[in-house]
Structure 1
């Protein structure tokens, strides 16, 4: 089973949109194991709208928390204890795209960070990063945190307006592949996302070496 974990350098950078585009391009199942904040929708509802995947390919969360906060805090507010055994990888027929919550070092519990969960799974991670000012530092720190835990990194995907130097220097310094850059889309719908993904995101090189 082919599995890719989509994470980000921060929250709100567009990794859900990227995950939707990736899942659609691969015809994959999508899973967001921990959802924190569901007003008006959670990320799986967004992915369902943008990907055009059948409902059976959108898997239910292991934890669906109401508060838009770090998972450890959202779970505490909801009176829920997040347990590692409930975060086992689902078995599906075909590729699986998993979306993390927030950034790489977001706490899931008092003892566990998102990167620790990635290390537990041992599956390749795609790091989504802004193209804007500050992204070099945020991206390289995230990559170092993943490597410190021996998390395999499939590559980096940029999201936003073109910034040739940032898009060049980060993959070079980190020695990882670039998936390209997904531009900001207006309108954002299944058709525009699929077209932008096909035009701007390189899947063959990172996946096939």
Structure 2
């Protein structure tokens, strides 16, 4: 099974939209193992709509829109890391993490611990706005400290060429391209915008 992990430098930066575009571009199956917050459309529902590809059910669906450890505690649920093993699928599998790397799943384990255990290449999604250099370089350092293979960094937002260059050079990582903010977020608009992403480089990492 070919698996690619999509994680982010923070929450709410466009990681799910990127995951939808990548899932469609790879002809993959999508899986978000832990979903916190069910009041609005879930990430899985968004990806299903935008990608038109198969979406696997979450291992944990938690009501509270908060860190998974807190959401789970609010419902009296204990997240069992054994349930977060990637399920077998035919073809590529895109796994989207929850928030950033240091998001706690339990009081003892971070999402980074699980990502490292999956032993699959990681795409780091970063915003282009102020603070992204710091957040991106810290995230890259954390991934590599756990032995993770980084396929590259994909950016979301308005163009900030110097920030992208600085992250790629100082982080010694491939710039996979940039997705702009899409005012009209439709499947066709995402397909068109995703042409700016180096999907071939991501395929090489699988």
TM-score by length of 2: 0.97
1:32 and 1:98 in contact (8 A); partners too: yes
Task: After the TM superposition, list the runs of 4 or more consecutive aligned residues in structure 1 that deviate by more than 6 angstroms.
Answer: none
Query: Do structure 1's residue 120 and structure 2's residue 117 form an aligned pair?
Result: yes
1:130 and 1:159 in contact (8 A); partners too: yes
Alpha-carbon distance in 2 for matches of 1:123, 1:38: 28
Gaps of 5+ in 2: none
Alpha-carbon distance in 1 for matches of 2:80, 2:70: 14
2:151 and 2:201 in contact (8 A); partners too: no
2:6 and 2:15 in contact (8 A); partners too: yes
From 168, 171, 179, give the equivalent of 2:168.
Answer: 171
Return the offset for 1:171. 1.0
Alpha-carbon distance in 2 for matches of 1:104, 1:16: 15
Query: Do structure 1's residue 205 and structure 2's residue 201 form an aligned pair?
Result: yes
Structure 1 residues 12-161: aligned runs within 5 Å: 12-53=12-53, 57-161=54-158
1:177 and 1:206 in contact (8 A); partners too: no
Return the offset for 1:183. 0.6
2:28 and 2:93 in contact (8 A); partners too: yes
Tell me the residue number matched to 1:189.
Answer: 186
Gaps of 5+ in 1: none
Alpha-carbon distance in 1 for matches of 2:202, 2:173: 9
Return the offset for 1:205. 2.9
Alpha-carbon distance in 2 for matches of 1:147, 1:71: 23
1:70 and 1:108 in contact (8 A); partners too: yes
CA shift digits 1:105-156 (9 cap, x unpaired): 1000011101100011111110000001100000000111111111111110
2:32 and 2:96 in contact (8 A); partners too: yes
1:34 and 1:101 in contact (8 A); partners too: yes
Alpha-carbon distance in 2 for matches of 1:206, 1:189: 23
1:33 and 1:99 in contact (8 A); partners too: yes
1:9 and 1:127 in contact (8 A); partners too: yes
Cα RMSD of the aligned pairs, angstroms, is 0.9
1:35 and 1:65 in contact (8 A); partners too: yes
